[in-house]
Structure 1
Amino acid sequence: MKKVLVVAAVLFALAWMVFTTGRYSWHQKLTITVETPAGEVSASSVSAVSWRKHWIRWDGMGWSYDLTGEAVVVEVTPGRYLFALLKGAGTTEYMGSVAAASIAGREGRVLDEALFSEVHYRRDRAAGVIAVPEFQYPMLVTFDDITKPETVREVDPADLAAVFWEGVRFKAVTLEITREAVTEGRVEGVLG
């Protein structure tokens, strides 16, 4: 009976290691700041990110991720909105890897267990506000007519004046690891 308990304990410990090691999750607040002639405007959205390393890699990158959240919605002028999407120009896993990529200073998807650990535990370079470098900016869109989905168009962060008006320019994107709840309903509130 003692051998059975020891074997069961060892199997439980191994299963625990397999199912808990290589799992990283956090909440992150993405903030977009825009300068206008009337002053700065900014908005944020909190999303939940979870990465899991596969112990048996059949194909692909050996990791999978889950994301819950919504786009950042900045009201640049009354009734005119800028949306920062949950994806970037270079990767669909944008929101999942933007923290690690921004800390590392590398473009695109960054799957780095040491960086994920920093972010997960909110330590070292992930302990405060993280400046998102320009090459890691999210995809930005606006609507010529907010009531008509077909009027959506991509916005160049280097030329907001072309879409809004003279004197409007993109100032910053920052990311902060937080314990705040995931943002819900802001996009729906604007789009109806």
Structure 2
Amino acid sequence: MTVEVQTPSGPKSGSAVQEHVVWRPRLIPLPGAGGSDWGGGHQTFGEAPFVDLGNGEVLFATLRDVRYNYDREINTIVFRALHIDELRGKRPNAGDASILDDLARARPLNVLDRKYYPQLATFTDMANPKSLVEVSPDNLAARFGQGTTLSKITFQVVDPGTPLTAAVTARFPALAAERGLLTLPPS
């Protein structure tokens, strides 16, 4: 996942390699199935990408929505970014594994539709993990200053052996103890 931001000093980007693991036989529900009926399950490993905007400002694309909104969870976002539903529609007789195998071979790069953006956040003080605040993808300038806009978020399938990104705790030691536990204050 790559996040690209336009700043007054030029474009900046940040990426993270994540692993999305299917732990049930069906990744994609059959027509008419819903919720746990379809027997699918998945889990994400890895960290959220961040963009160093300069002057101590950092933008994070979160992996989980503070409101537990299924549409803004990273797994749902990835499936939409990679157009899983559209692939399924073109090949109704193909098994889920076949679709995933094709994606792994093709290594597509897809721009995420704005309506599926993950929740974005920053810290008002990078040394204080409790200072996490949400940032609107439509108005980065409100938090980061005039001329700062979100350009796009892209997803690309990489080789299965590609190492997961591990830069957050090395770059931001104050966040190490909070890893996986950071939450936004209730809005």
Alignment TM-score, normalising by the size of structure 2? 0.71
| Paired residue type of 1:145 | D
1:151 aligns with 2:104: no
Deviations 1:33-58 (A, max 9, x none): 00001100001000011113358xxx
1:161-172 map, 5 Å: 161-172=141-152
Unaligned residue ranges in structure 1 (runs of 5+): 1-29, 107-111
1:183 aligns with 2:160: no
For 2:115 and 2:43, the matched residues in 1 are separated by 23
State, as a whole percentage, how many aligned pairs show the same letter.
25
Residues 1:178 and 1:103: Cα distance change in structure 2 (over 3 Å)? closer
| Paired residue type of 1:129 | L
Instruction: State the 1:92 CA deviation.
Output: 7.8
When structure 1 is superposed on structure 2, of 83-92 and 153-162 the one drifting more is 83-92
1:60 aligns with 2:36: yes
Q: Any idea what SS the aligned residue of 2:36 has?
A: coil
Q: Match of 1:100?
A: 79
Q: Any idea what SS the aligned residue of 1:87 has?
A: coil
Contact kept? 1:70, 1:183, Cα under 8 Å: yes
Instruction: State the 1:73 CA deviation.
Output: 1.3
1:85 aligns with 2:90: no
Instruction: State the 1:114 CA deviation.
Output: 5.6
For 1:105 and 1:159, the matched residues in 2 are separated by 29
Q: Match of 1:24?
A: none
Q: Match of 1:121?
A: 102
For 2:145 and 2:98, the matched residues in 1 are separated by 42
Q: Match of 1:35?
A: 6
Instruction: State the 1:117 CA deviation.
Output: 4.2
Instruction: State the 1:74 CA deviation.
Output: 0.7
Q: Please, what is the CA RMSD of the aligned residues?
A: 2.9
Contact kept? 1:137, 1:173, Cα under 8 Å: yes
For 1:129 and 1:140, the matched residues in 2 are separated by 21
Q: Which has the larger radius of gyration?
A: 1
Q: Match of 2:30?
A: none
Q: Match of 2:122?
A: 142
Q: Any idea what SS the aligned residue of 2:79 has?
A: helix
| Paired residue type of 1:144 | T
Aligned residue pair count: 154
- Please state which structure has a larger fraction of its residues in strand: 1
Q: Any idea what SS the aligned residue of 1:32 has?
A: strand
Contact kept? 2:72, 2:119, Cα under 8 Å: no
Residues 1:35 and 1:47: Cα distance change in structure 2 (over 3 Å)? same
1:15-30 map, 5 Å: 30=1
Instruction: State the 1:94 CA deviation.
Output: 2.5
Instruction: State the 1:105 CA deviation.
Output: 8.7
Unaligned residue ranges in structure 2 (runs of 5+): 27-34, 86-91, 174-187
Deviations 1:99-122 (A, max 9, x none): 32224498xxxxx98677434432
Instruction: State the 1:123 CA deviation.
Output: 6.1
